[in-house]
């Protein structure tokens, strides 16, 4: 990856603000470390006590700078105690033969990312002056691929993940929001309606741009996803969501 002057300045600022070193790796290597495939994503991040690891799609270098800013802002939000999602598989005893850690980790990753994204998008524009119309172009392209290239998971289980992913669409600019929501509506109308309903409820209840509001939103979104599985008779697979912990 080419480290531009802007990225170098951002690295220095973040390392000073958060007092952690930054390490940049490929998504291929990141996938190996976290246990599930994220090579079609633009980026990922996680951190420990001393380091922030940023995974970037080095096959799409034109996305790297904005994605770097995006992932760094997740780290800022975690410091500010926005909703941070972890899991405890002991909460789903009895499913040990059917569920592996990578499946639960993926769900925690989806929920945590989606809940923080409204604040991330706002900060990308305000803090790093990112052209968000161009950025949302890349987001929508990725989301379209996601809708039409689903794997072999149970369809209701996939729709639950669509509801989580759909939450963040409401915080795109109007053009890109409407474009991706129309596709969501066509692909999975029931999940689309459920998502629309819970976003309206969340926005009436709290502001997702505050740390406390993000936690309330995460709780409400998780409850909606569980309820969707119950209504659609997902069965014991629905219990996987009991492992999710909102911090």
Q: What residue spans define the domains of the chain?
A: 1-79, 83-247
Read off the pLDDT of residues 190-231 as tens digits, 9 standing for 90 and up.
999 999 999 999 999 999 999 999 999 999 999 999 999 999
* Rg of the chain on CA atoms, in Å: 18
pTM value is 0.92
- Mean pLDDT in residue range 14-20: 92
- Residue 97 has a pLDDT of 65
Residues in the chain: 247
Residue 36 CA, distance from chain mean position: 14
25: left (phi over 0), alpha (psi -120 to 50) or beta: beta
Q: Residue 90: which pLDDT band, with cuts at 50, 70 and 90?
A: confident
Q: Where are the beta strands (DSSP E) in the chain?
A: 21-26, 43-47, 51-56, 85-87, 244-246
Over residues 95-108, mean pLDDT = 81
pLDDT at 2: 64
Considering Cα of 209, then 243, then 144, then 186, what sign does the dihedral take?
negative
Look up residue 76 and give its DSSP letter.
H
């Amino acid at each position: 990856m080419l480290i531009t002057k802007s990225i170098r300045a951002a690295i220095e600022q973040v390392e000073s603000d958060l007092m952690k070193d930054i390490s940049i790796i490929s998504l291929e290597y990141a996938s190996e470390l976290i246990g599930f495939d994220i090579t079609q994503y633009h980026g990922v991040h996680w951190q420990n006590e001393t380091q922030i690891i940023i995974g970037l799609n080095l096959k799409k270098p034109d996305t790297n700078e904005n994605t770097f800013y995006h992932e760094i802002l997740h780290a800022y939000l975690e410091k500010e105690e926005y909703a941070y999602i972890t899991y405890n598989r002991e909460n789903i005893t009895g499913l040990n033969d059917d569920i592996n850690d990578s499946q639960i980790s993926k769900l925690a990753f989806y929920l945590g990312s989606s809940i923080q994204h409204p604040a991330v998008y706002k900060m990308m524009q305000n803090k790093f002056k990112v052209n968000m119309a161009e950025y949302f172009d890349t987001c929508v392209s990725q989301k379209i691929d996601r809708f039409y290239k689903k794997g072999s998971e149970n369809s209701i289980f996939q729709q639950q993940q669509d509801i989580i992913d759909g939450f963040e669409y409401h915080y795109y600019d109007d053009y890109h929001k409407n474009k991706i929501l129309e596709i969501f509506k066509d692909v999975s109308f029931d999940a689309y309606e459920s998502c629309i309903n819970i976003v309206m409820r969340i926005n009436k209840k709290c502001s997702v741009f505050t740390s406390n509001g993000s936690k309330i939103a995460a709780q409400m979104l998780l409850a909606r996803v569980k309820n969707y599985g119950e209504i659609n008779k997902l069965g014991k697979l629905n219990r996987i969501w009991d492992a999710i912990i909102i911090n």
